[in-house]
Amino acid sequence: MIQFYFLSVLVNALAGCILFFGVASNGDSAGDKAPGDSFFPSFARSESFRFALGIAAIAVGILKLLSPVDGDVPFIGDILPAVMGVVAGFSLIYEHVKMRKISEKVERNEYIRRLLDYKTYIGIAAMISAALHFLFPSVVII
């Protein structure tokens, strides 16, 4: 469906920008300004917005695999944007969980901590995936 195509591009680009620029939340102190703070509107610094964006990215990534655009190869044609959406969404949700200190068990997991260490690279990959998916809609691998 073309709607999931558009949502995939939009959500991947937005989540990638937020992860790449490291937008500081509203609760952070004034001295901890991130480079992207002046670029993004105030609602993008909200923890609830980033949490909702993470859930939306995961949902759109999964639904993108299940509903291909007409003429596209099912599953394989949308694998990169769908996977990047799920990974970027998971990274945004885990960032929210980490800020809330909800689960100490999650905090001790080595793989999840490593994921947040690479959130800048995940953001870059999500933005590249969104751009390639937008520019080349009918390529099989993208």
Contact at 8 Å (CB) between 82 and 61? yes
Contacts of 102 (CB under 8 A, 6+ apart): none
Confidence of residue 104 (pLDDT cuts 50, 70, 90): low
* Per-residue pLDDT tens digits for 66-101: 877 666 666 666 788 889 999 999 988 888 777 666
- How would residue 30 be classed by pLDDT, with cut points 50, 70 and 90? very low
- Confidence band of 31 (pLDDT split at 50, 70, 90): very low
Give percent of the chain with pLDDT exceeding 70: 70
